[in-house]
Amino acid sequence: MSDPLLLAIVGPTGSGKTALSLALAEELNGEIVSCDSVSIYRGMEIGSAKPTAAERARIPHHMLDVADPSEAYTAGDYSRAGREVLADLHSRGKTPIVAGGTGLYLRALLDGLSPVPPRDEELRKRLRHSVQRHGDAHLHSLLSRIDPKAAARIHANDQSKLLRAVEISLLERRPLSAQFHAAPPEPLKEFRIVKIGLTPPRAILYQRLDTRAAEMFTNGLVEETRSLIARYGKDCRALTSLGYTQAVAEINGTLTHEQAVASAQQGHRNYAKRQLTWFRAEPDIHWIEDFGAPSLKRAAEIIQSL
């Protein structure tokens, strides 16, 4: 008996992943596992282009709204939680359809990452307090003493990576570079994985992205951003995401409304290019160039042929 199917629908933002994943979920007795680094956050609806309430009612979705925007959520966090979802779907005889454009999350979910311990918030609080007392250079200096190899790889100003490296070294009582980067990742083994990539004609994709970005502002992106700032603070890390960055700039008066929309449109086009570059380098992706019904027909043919 062959392993159960896991279908991954990948590609740039605006390429039709949501529509295709919904249609395939209905055909394959499936449920959808979001693979998007912004949709994991609660309250970030408009700028993340999350599936609508009607779409979520049509097919169960997972890995949406699993963290507050004030939380740091890593690829490792996503992999651990996502694999629990996959195990549940497997136990219920459902076909997992992983849909999204965050390539690192997909790689972590399917291929695994070198094992590292989860975050320790109490330790992090103490380390942040030390930075406040001793200055921004403290973490890099500390890491240089306990793990010179890691310190040489991480820029002295990258506080987030420095904090994580120091945290891991202290929790495990050995340098991060001594074991974890050498430890092999653990690929997902329970499924027959089929990856389908969407790459519609670029001119059509860019037109869709320009329309989508403008509609986000029309549909209340600035108001949503104000609400997030009021709840989580202006320095909330999730607000550096595409779209929210431009909304913050409009709120602060550094961009006019028209400039913010144009910047978001350009940002979405640039992001789509980066996503395509990432996924083009990934192995075993079957590419489809059409939108809508033709992509569904072609996806079904691909699945049946493998």
Residue spans of the domains in the chain: they are 5-113+185-305, 121-179
- Collect the ranges in the chain with pLDDT lower than 50: none
CB 14 within 8 A of CB 102: no
Q: What is the model's pLDDT at position 180?
A: 55
Residue 11, annotated ligand binder? yes
Residue 18, annotated ligand binder? yes
Question: Domain 121-179 maps to which CATH number in 3.10.310.30, 2.40.420.20, 1.10.20.140, 1.10.10.10?
Answer: 1.10.20.140
Instruction: DSSP for 98-157, please give it.
Output: EE-S-HHHHHHHHH-----PPP-HHHHHHHHHHHHHH-TTHHHHHHHHH-HHHHHHS-TT
Q: What is the model's pLDDT at position 1?
A: 54
Residue 12, annotated ligand binder? yes
CATH superfamily of 5-113+185-305: P-loop containing nucleotide triphosphate hydrolases (3.40.50.300)
pTM over 0.75: yes
Q: What is the model's pLDDT at position 181?
A: 54
Among 168, 167, 196, 195, which residue's Cα sits nearest to residue 181? 168
Q: What is the model's pLDDT at position 291?
A: 73
